[in-house]
Structure 1
Amino acid sequence: MTKGDELRAAIAAQGSVLVMFSGGLDSALLAKLAHDALGQRAAALTIDSSVVPRSETALAKEVADAIGVRRYVLTLDEIGLAHFAANPVDRCYHCRKHRDAEAWRWAHEHGLDTVADGLNYSDLSDYRPGLKAASEDRIWHPFIELRVTKDDIRTLSRELELPGWDRPSMACLASRFPHGFAVTGDRLKRVDRAEEYLRALGFKKVRVRYFPYELGLVEVDDLQRALEHRDQIVARLRELGFGFVALHLEDFASGTMNRTAGA
């Protein structure tokens, strides 16, 4: 039995599943496998929120349409949560508790037995307080249960010809802020638009970290190219409201803000 077949069998055994669906690589594969295994007894739920990049919201619809899975959109406002906006080290925990509660409410209203997400076995090596919340909230992690890694997910997605299988991973926009530095709606919009601009310049892997004094720290996968576009990048970020613009000199890596969590 292939890994894909193992996953389909495990999903089918759940009876019905609601997939927490961002449209990213992990949740896209899970939604595809759930649709294969359960048909109309599978659904995908996308959270629309100010912490979600606009490009990801558009991608979620595109991917769901390609898969054929039923998709629904739920609008949430995490900025209104005190434990979220203050940006403590366990911000992800509080956000995830809120999202899980809403996902379960939606699942119960629509007669679905299981809520699942795309967390994978490779995620266990990173600092993820949201995983603790999800485990408390009985969210099912089929990729973790069957020890499916990020590389496995990319391979399966390529074999299934899922759109975006080769896209770099994205993350919640709030992850661009050091812990203890307040997350606001204006700052989130600033980050999102700055990253959209950098992608339009041709960068594939992009993060704009937001620090006090309105400092925007640009992380990209091609430092030389960034230096060649230095004046344009500085001008655009200043136009968006950043007071200072800096270039991160280390190689691009996801999760670098976890250093401030002591992880």
Structure 2
Amino acid sequence: MEIKQKLQALKTLFSEMETALIAYSGGIDSTLVAKVARDVLGDRALAMTAVSPSLLPEELEDARIQAAEIGIAHELVETREMENPNYTANPVNRCYFCKSELHDTLKPLAREKGYPYVVDGINADDLQDYRPGIQAAKERGARSPLAELGISKLEVRQLSQLLELPWWDKPAQPCLSSRFPYGEEITVAKLHRVGRAEVYLRKLGYNTLRVRSDRDTARIEIPAEQIQSFIAAIDLPEVVKTFKDLGFVCVTLDLEGYRSGKLNDALLKA
């Protein structure tokens, strides 16, 4: 199916839904879903963003701006996954407990507001990765239009570009809890620390990156092809000072380079 045909299929799917409440993070996937839903359904589409310590304030602001630009109604709701010890203990299925909290919060709200189900931004590529949160969403009756139509991450970007969305090339930004190795307890303070470290590096011009946190050690991941220029161009003592001011004891650079989902490598060795 060509990209324009997939766009039409997505529009048809929303037309058949008649209403849509979108679990909207402000990432490129859920924003595309929100855009098409708004185009097809008008005021019968609602974007709802879950607010918690694992969402950067800057990402929340992006979500607000993008929702306003595409014209969709946008509401916020607080989720409390940090109150669940099954989540904060950071087991390998941590994401299951996160998405359980999300959909256990959104589903009754959707029913109250007259929406038969919640729609998310899961794409076809996500189904090939280790994503225990997908199961939690399925168990609670959520629909995933991108995955249902076989739309990949690359096609999400192509569709976003076709629709002239200015953030079509926005880097992926999963929740901050994904920065910690499985088994390390997650706290609000740790989430804040790693979040501020990433924002600091983005302000230096590095948009595709992760700051992995292992206890009090920060490991900076940037694309492998940028490592040499990073070392040459950045004031490394200032970076170290900034990270230590945030509470890190040791600051390292991953010479393998950035790779999404790298912490899942430990599961393959288990």
Taking structure 2 as the reference length, the TM-score comes to 0.94
Give, in whole Å, the separation in 2 of the partners of 1:200 and 1:162. Answer: 22
Is 2:222 the counterpart of 1:220? Answer: yes
Q: Is the 8 A contact 1:63 1:163 kept in 2?
A: no
Indicate which of 234, 245, 248 corresponds to 2:254. Answer: 248
Write out per-residue CA displacement over residues 127-151 of structure 1, whole angstroms, 9 at most, x where no aligned residue: 1000111111111011111100111
Query: Identity over the aligned pairs, expressed in percent?
Result: 38
| Displacement after TM superposition at 1:114 (Å) | 2.2
Shift of residue 123 of structure 1? 1.0
Supply the AA of the counterpart residue of 2:13. Answer: A
**CA offset at residue 106 of structure 1?**
1.1
| Structure-2 residue corresponding to 1:35 | 38
Matching of residues 9-88 of structure 1 within 5 Å: 9-88=12-91
**After the TM superposition, which segments of 4 or more aligned residues of structure 1 sit over 2 Å from their partners?**
260-263
| Secondary structure, counterpart of 1:203 in structure 2 | coil
Give 3-state SS (helix, strand or coil) of 2:115's partner: coil
* Structure-1 residue corresponding to 2:164: 161
Q: Distance in 1 between matches of 2:47 and 2:168?
A: 18
The residue type equivalent to 2:260 in the other structure is: S
Give SS of 1:262's match: helix
Could you say what secondary structure the match of 1:73 adopts? Answer: strand
Q: Which amino acid aligns with 1:79?
A: M
| Counterpart residue identity of residue 165, structure 1 | W
CA contact (8 A) 2:123 2:144 kept: yes
Question: 1:77 Cα shift?
Answer: 2.5
* Maintained 8 Å contact 2:211/2:221: yes
Partner of 1:100: 103
TM-score, normalization by structure 1: 0.97
DSSP-derived class of the 1:182 partner: coil
Residue 113 (1) aligns with residue 116 (2): yes
Structure 2 spans left out of the alignment, 5+ residues: none
Name stretches of at least 5 consecutive residues in structure 1 with no aligned partner. none
Counterpart in 2 of 1:199? 202
User: Which AA in structure 2 matches 1:225?
Assistant: S
Distance in 2 (alpha carbons) for counterparts of 1:233 and 1:255: 24
Give, in angstroms, the shift of residue 36 of structure 1.
1.1
Paired amino acid for 1:224: Q
The letter for the 2-side match of 1:113 is: P
Q: How far apart are the structure 1 equivalents of 2:261 and 2:60?
A: 21
Question: In the superposition, relative to structure 1, how do residues 105 and 163 fare at CA in structure 2: closer, same or farther (>3 Å)?
Answer: farther
Question: Deviation per CA, 1:50-85, whole angstroms, max 9, x where unpaired?
Answer: 001222101000000000001100012221111111
Counterparts of 1:49 and 1:114 in 2: how far apart (Å)? 22
Deviations, residues 24-45 of structure 1 (Å, cap 9, x unaligned): 1000100011111111111000
The residue that corresponds to 1:171 in the other structure is: 174
Q: CA deviation at 1:234?
A: 0.9
